[in-house]
Amino acid sequence: MRRLIPVTLLLALSSVCPRAYGQQQFNAAGAINYCAGQAVKTLKVIPADSANLPRNIDNGKTNWRFIKYRDWCSGFWPGVLWYLYEGTGKAQFKTEAEKFTKELTPLSYTPGFDHDLGFQVHNSFGNGYRLTGNAAYKPVILRAADSLATLFNPRVGTILSWPSMVKIKGWPHNTIIDNMINLEMLFWASKNGGGKKLYDMAVKHAETTMHNHFRADYSAYHVVVYDTLTGKKIKGVTHQGYADNSMWARGQSWAIYGFTMCYRETKRAAFLNFAQKVADVYLKRLPADGIPYWDFDAPDIPNAPKDASAACVTASALLELSTFVHDKVKAKTYRHKAEQMLAMLSLAKYQSRDVNDAFLLHSTGHKPNGTEIDASIIYADYYYLEALLRLKRLQQGQSLYARLTHPVK
């Protein structure tokens, strides 16, 4: 059955994404400037102690919860600042990005304790190196990649995601779908002095995930547990989703993003084809406004919390995927869907505006654990801004990977 989009939603979308309805295109530059204004507000309230990296603002509250550098979300705030420097050319954002990036340096000297080093180090030092060429950043990224590589189990063919869960949950070797994103740092390192072994490791992880992490309809499990002796899959389960057989929204978005990135880095057709399959099941099941509920199978839909962060990750991924897909009609569809998502996220319903200093409202972190439900979360802001920058490049007829240049202000 076709789902009808309410007239009120069409009118709202037409005001921010009118190109879809025959008018001018969505103003990505304006949304980037909005993010810059919100970030300046946050910079004014950063505490002086070591817990100074914004992570989330809970529903009903107005103040950021700040974290230290070891938290898995620590790289998103420096990454936001680097993206704002890229998008606005303002020297203030470069200065602040350098400051907060430097705080994460100890991560590269710490033995591998978690899979999230890519989120932490590649988003901070990686973006900083890309935009400035600062030679001091390169060895930090390479050391972090080597540390991440120590968690790779060659018998299984994936990186161990949560070492702590080996004892807590009795999972001999667990790999979560989120881990696809951390492969980007391994690919980068392999091209910048780390050697082919890191490339091979990233490819093997992606291939193993592709074969074991998905159901027949291409929806993803959150966690796959493996036997460390045989390397065989034991089971697929959830941790942050509704149920073991449900489609957790952000998990599916990580899959879309991760396999798209893997195609970019390898040009292997299997990854491109798979990225489309995991994207298509996500798009097929979206509610009318294009922003998913936290889990596509949550029993209390339409009263379930939304997850704007999943929409941000997906929008960014679809913009990149649209540049790779050979079918022009399908490529156009992916870009159009991404623009619609960004347009909706840029309405008052989803932007934080005067509610708090974040960019967006209505993300859900860990619903089963009762944390970060219907909240503002830093990784939603990061991928929202990334998607806006990507869209701006496409609107200007640039390569998706061209740096947005401005005179430094």
Residues annotated as catalytic are 116, 178
Contact 242, 295 (CB under 8 A): yes
CA separation for the pair 355, 373 (Å, rounded) = 16
**Token pair for residue 139?**
């060895």
One-letter identity of residue 402: A
Hey, what long-range contacts does 185-188 have (CB within 8 A, 24 or more apart)?
185/117, 185/118, 185/121, 185/122, 185/126, 185/141, 185/144, 185/145, 185/148, 186/118, 186/145, 186/148, 186/149, 187/261, 187/265, 187/266, 188/122, 188/126, 188/141, 188/145
Q: Which of 246, 247, 221 is nearest to 235 (CA)?
A: 221
Pair type for strands 376-377 and 158-159: unpaired
Annotate 51-85 with DSSP letters as a single string: --EEEEE-TT--SPEEE-TTSTTTTHHHHHHHHHH
Q: Which residue(s) pair with 214 in the sheet?
A: 220
Cα R_g (the chain), whole angstroms: 20
CA separation for the pair 235, 218 (Å, rounded) = 16
Integer angstrom CA distances of residue 67 from 7, 52, 53, 187: 42, 6, 5, 28
Q: Which of 248, 198, 186 is nearest to 223 (CA)?
A: 248
**Token pair for residue 201?**
């490791």
Cβ neighbours around 117 below 10 Å, total: 29
Integer angstrom CA distances of residue 143 from 112, 188, 190: 10, 12, 12
CA separation for the pair 163, 187 (Å, rounded) = 23
